[in-house]
Structure 1
Amino acid sequence: MSLQAPLVLELATIDDIPAITELWFTVFNDPGMRHLMPDTPGVRQWMTEANLYDMQQKPYQKYIKIVDPTTKDATGQPRLAAYAKWDLSMPNQRGPRFPPWHADQPSQDCNAFFGKLEEDRKRVMGDRKHYYLDMLGTHPDYRGRGAASALVKWGCDIADREGDGAYVDASKAGAPLYQRYGFVDFSDPATPGDTASMGRL
């Protein structure tokens, strides 16, 4: 039996954005998220442009990727196995997380869902500087190979080095991964849901 070649962690670039969009819609496909982010050409373009803007205009947004150097995608580049977006800004520096919603999106539902996430983060972290794991996704073909762990560790190592906290809106299923890196579930039991408010204080 041959051993699997190791995956490689690198900083993502503008050239990776189309693959990031494709991976996002592959990974986040549960009914609730698909309602908020329907898989339409318009929403795909909206997401692509949002990531492009953040990568170009917000230097504190750090996109990192895990690639499979043994497999090429349709463009001939190493296949994207996973990616993460870490926000390293000060709390009062971030501004809106997303641009105005696309016409294909239910704007009221999006405002309610993502607004609640922001309220929970403020409740847990307050005004303390912290590193926010804004997004993390691993392609199903690469789960169980340590890609997500490497992406989480990347940001946690920076937070530890700087003496700062970290935060993530985790799925309940994904919470054990973050607990291994010191995140604690601070979810409000009065408002149960599928998302865990997890912080490293």
Structure 2
Amino acid sequence: MASSSPLKVEPITIDDIPALIEIWFAAFTNPLMQEIFPDTPGLREWLTKIFLHDLSNRPFQHTLKVMDLDSKDLQGRPRMMAWGKWDLSMPEERGLRFSLPWADDMPAEKCNGFFNTLEENRKQVMGDEKHFYLDTLCTHPDYWRRGAGSMLVQWGCDLADEQGVSAYVDASKKGAPLYQKFGFVDNGDPNEEVASMARRKS
């Protein structure tokens, strides 16, 4: 008999927020992300407030974690390997991607330019079509190529198929092959740093 998988997808809770932030900074290490999201106490406080707000006020967002049941943290709990946020809202319902003004430690002009471009690209690719949006996906480097990211992508794709809608993700060029395995296609400018990837409903 095949053994059960030690990996499990679960919804996050408020108690998970410190681990989410640790994985965020461990995973997003390219120069642009480090400039936009510098690892400072002020930025960590800002992220904490963002997570708290969204968990309480955005029921259309589903933030999920992958737990390694065979590995324990310092408190003896299963370790979090990865987490992702799927947004199931209609485009006009979602509002701003981040619910608070930029933190003082963040370069506001660059942040506005970067995230406005992402939204413009998504609008160009998806228009007003209802779609599920993979807002964030990050895996701790200790767990790369263990399948945690795929489990989080699969969760949203399965739900999209059940409801007959498309899906979309802003992917790094390095991360694009993961999404291609699930049927996402880059519809953006090949010269841009971010791939605008859509998975059309069947």
- TM-score > 0.5, shorter chain as reference: yes
In 1, the alpha carbon distance for the partners of 2:130 and 2:104 equals 34
Aligned position for 1:138: 139
TM-score (normalised: structure 1): 0.94
Shift of 1:5: 6.2
Provide the alpha-carbon RMSD of the alignment. 1.4
In 2, the alpha carbon distance for the partners of 1:5 and 1:155 equals 20
In 1, the alpha carbon distance for the partners of 2:24 and 2:74 equals 17
Aligned position for 2:65: 65
TM-score (normalised: structure 2): 0.94
Query: Aligned to 1:154, what secondary structure does the other structure show?
Result: helix
In 2, the alpha carbon distance for the partners of 1:200 and 1:124 equals 11
CA contact (8 A) 1:129 1:165 kept: yes
Aligned position for 1:195: 194
2:129 equivalent to 1:128:
yes
In 2, the alpha carbon distance for the partners of 1:116 and 1:184 equals 19
In 1, the alpha carbon distance for the partners of 2:147 and 2:158 equals 16
Runs of 4 or more off by more than 4 Å in structure 1?
Answer: none
In 2, the alpha carbon distance for the partners of 1:75 and 1:131 equals 35
Query: Aligned to 1:16, what secondary structure does the other structure show?
Result: helix
Q: Any stretches of 5+ residues in structure 1 without a counterpart?
A: none
Q: Any stretches of 5+ residues in structure 2 without a counterpart?
A: none
Shift of 1:4: 11
Which residue type is aligned with residue 198 of structure 2? G
How many equivalent residue pairs? Answer: 197
2:164 equivalent to 1:166:
no
Aligned position for 2:34: 34
Aligned position for 1:97: 97
Which residue type is aligned with residue 114 of structure 1? F
CA contact (8 A) 1:84 1:137 kept: yes
Sequence identity, in percent? 56
In 1, the alpha carbon distance for the partners of 2:80 and 2:193 equals 27
CA contact (8 A) 1:5 1:70 kept: no
Query: Aligned to 2:74, what secondary structure does the other structure show?
Result: coil
